[in-house]
Chain A
Amino acid sequence: MTVGPVTSPTETQPAEETPAVPGTVIEGRSLGRIAWTRLKRDRVALAGGITVFLLILVAILAPLINKAFGHPVNEYHQDKIDPNLGGIPPVGTWGGISSDFLLGVQPVTGRDLFSQVIYGAQTSLLIAFAATLLAVAIGIVVGVSAGFFGGWLDSLFSRFMDLILAFPLILFAIALISVLPPTRAFRTAVMIVVIGGFSWPYIGRIVRGQTLSLREREFVESARSIGASNFRIIFKELLPNLAAPILVYSTLIIPTNILFEAALSFLGVGVPPPTPSWGRLLSDAVQFYEYDPMYMFVPGMAIFITVLAFNLFGDGLRDALDPKANR
């Protein structure tokens, strides 16, 4: 599937075996401080982090920002387009950009593209974050149980993760989504479940690998020797030590999920209109791009900048938490 290479983009370990990342088992607080010091020095990552923060802010404050700089998100401005040329903004106006319409207008409807893009951020981030949360939740449960209990449970879960990764996922996703009812709330939920449901094995494998190595460590052994229950060991000893890698890989899976959401919307199985979505704007732009390239460029750049920011930040975060990588 061309949503991306089989490996999650920044996962640089061979898929079969994921050894524990050394250094992540240092005690929590000092690690956090060290990491923060490192992160502060990494300007690229910091820029990514700030962008991510701003994007989240834009998504949350979309109604306010739109009030100040945009127009009601679904308001038509038929005077801004030329209906006889298929509804594109007049040729030579850069997609209808003006001081009133900061990013131009959407062909056919004349809607403010600026408003579409910032509300599109809401759609995109909401689905990507929710799907990531779901993926992390399943990934932790499956990964920890597989790694901690081992044996047949490990075999079963590992095969199961293989199974999911063997599905042609985009195809399977569009085929599945397209047979289900396309109402807005339902579609959003289905997209979250599908995207999360296909991306958790990446987290699952990492967590399993980490757990495998952690459970042989002394502090786990000693906890076991004083008679701590499995429950206690998992929650008091394992999970706090898994926090760092989980945080890193969650950050790195978000951009993949953003691309996945946009791809599904591009292929026509995203959230239904009029809910703004970057992927759908791009697929709509396909028919206009020769005469109105701005309409393609604006949502395309929105996706690119968002994904890049998450990737830069996640990458920097990993470097900061993992002293070995890149140093």
Chain B
Amino acid sequence: MKFRTGLVLGTTVALTLGMSACGDGGSGKDETTSKVSAEFNAATKGIVNPSDKKGGTLRFGYSSDPDSLDPTRIYYASGQNFMRSFYNRTLLTPDSKPGEDGLKLVPDMAEAMPEISADKLTYTFKLKDGIKFEDGTAVTSKDVKYAIERTFAQDVLSGGPTYLIDQLDQGQNYPGPYKDTDPDKLGLKSVQTPDDKTVVFKLAKPFADFLYLLPMAPGAVPRAKDTGAKYTEHPISTGPYMFETVDPGKKITMVRNPNWDRNTDPVRKALPDRVEVTLQMQPDELDKQLLDGSLDLDFAQTGVQQAGQAKILLDKNLKKNADEPVTGFIRYFTISTKVAPFDNIHCRRAVQYAADKVALQTARGGADAGGDIATNMLPPNIAGHDPNLDPFGSKQGKPQIDKAKQELAACGKPNGFETKIAVRNKGKEPKTAEALQQALAQVGIKATIDQSDASLYFRSTIGSPDNVHKKGYGIMTAGWGADFPTGTGFLQVLVDGRLIQPSGNNNYAELNDPEINGLIDQATAESDPAKAAELWKQINAKVMDTATQLPFVYDKALNYRNPRLTNVYVYSYFGEWDFGSLGVSDGK
């Protein structure tokens, strides 16, 4: 799951990430390459201001500070977008195209898509010629392997995605290069480098989505320049820009990388001469500078603040320069199968009917900035999404008191019961928990809200089943965005009964249904994406039938684009504009 940074004054945010396709439904699919004029949501439908004009400075503003610039440690979608666009080339990368094409992986440092062995266990990549680090040394297969090995050094380089460890460790307990006994620090057995141009990955068992794990990780790190925890101060670039200054809490500036060769790189436009990020801005000030044109875009892409939202939506001249892409994030409550009385499905169904989805949507910011009402657990950008799947008739948004009371009676609790709602004390989440609490009270369910510390919430508060039982959390507030845009990347960890972990668990409801588990096995092994999508559609329906998941919003983020920006389109892979295609029309 990707994360979003929080913010000052405890006011807002904790939004989005993940990826998303164009809006809801296919309005944009047929015109993906066509030019669209500047209007509200234009960049979710096509490319706004297409241009090849070079020069000028692309100016980002950020209300926070990237936790790290080290590609090994970046997890936020916008951070991944930033590193992919400017300084971290990977073997494969999602294509720079609007719409669904942006979900497809294409070769970046690799010469071509990998050779995959018949048993689907060996992936062989060849590197392109002419790919260099910013200091002019050529990128070799050893640098690629070393970069992957760094992910294993979690005690030094924590915070990034760890999927590669799950797939590549294979019982070796590799400690990372810093504790590697191999003299070249290349002791990881599952990645091999027969020559300087070839990288071979050996899996222990087939994993259809393996390639999606590669763009999330660092592409290549030169061992001689690796400074471990300090690498974030100046990551070595393979992309079109390199770091000029990194002034934590203040500013990041990047200049063109003279050793980047445009001919080797089909996905990055590299139009501006400079890239600047102003850090630690006050959120309202950031919005103000976006609206008056002093900045080009928000680094975080999590949407403007309340005041900015009102300003934009009340002024049609501003509104035409705003987009609200579906971010691919889903907001939901999960209902435990192990905490009484929710071990009885009727009590879970009662909650489904009692919920007031309009109030929940409003608590997230309304239909415009919050998102559309969600009725099932696969968001619109994931193949297998089914807009008509709505087993509890919740699309209309209002509570169905009578049905809820019938379910309560069926559960043997006609007068309601008491339970606890767990929520982290961050952003809009306490308000959504309050909205549910209020709605449940209408049918006699007395819920108390248990707020806990945001930093450990997903790890050990609701991420630990023991703790959930001990505290008696019947209902838990959650949010989720896929790390890679497939049913596997989105739904598996949430509902696969065999992936329940003692800490950092994602299957909060402890759903363990043999039928669902069986379907998941079929889906993850299915290499035909269309068939896999059909399986995920079935899984989604089965999951909804268990009444363990109460989704309420498919997230949107209202962002403002400076009118001078060129080539603006929503990049489905991240649910954000493609940073790497942007240019500035006035060349300043």
Contact = CB atoms under 8 A, between A and B. Distances in A.
23 contacts: A74-B438, A76-B438, A83-B362, A83-B366, A84-B313, A84-B368, A85-B309, A86-B309, A86-B366, A87-B363, A109-B434, A182-B453, A184-B448, A267-B9, A268-B425, A273-B430, A274-B449, A287-B11, A287-B307, A288-B307, A289-B307, A291-B306, A291-B307
Interface class of chain A by DSSP: loop
A268 B430 CA distance: 12
B453 A178 contact: yes
B369 interface: yes
Contacts of B435: 76, 109
Contact of A108 (B11, B309, B363, B451): B363
A288 B368 CA distance: 17
Contact of B11 (A74, A83, A107, A286): A286
A291 B10 contact: no
A108 B362 contact: yes
B358 interface: yes
A86 B369 contact: yes
Contact of B10 (A86, A107, A268): A268
A221 interface: no
A272 B438 contact: no
A286 B284 CA distance: 10
Interface in A267-303: 267-268, 272-274, 283-284, 286-291
Contacts of A162: none
B309 A76 contact: no
A88 interface: yes
B425 A182 contact: yes
Interface class of chain B by DSSP: helix
Interface in B444-469: 448-453
A183 B450 contact: yes
B437 interface: yes
Interface residues of B, number: 36
Q: Top 9 nearest A-B pairs by Cβ distance?
A: A268-B10, A83-B366, A287-B306, A290-B307, A86-B306, A83-B362, A291-B310, A86-B309, A272-B451
Nearest to A268: B10
Interface in B353-410: 356, 358-359, 361-363, 365-369
Contacts of A87: 362-363, 365-366
B451 A182 contact: yes
A75 B435 CA distance: 10
B188 to A, nearest CB: 38
A81 interface: yes
A283 B7 CA distance: 13
Nearest to B450: A183
B305 interface: yes
A78 interface: yes
A181 interface: yes
Contact of A86 (B9, B310, B438, B441): B310
A133 B126 CA distance: 75
A178 B455 CA distance: 11
Contacts of B441: 74
Contact of A267 (B10, B367, B368, B450): B10
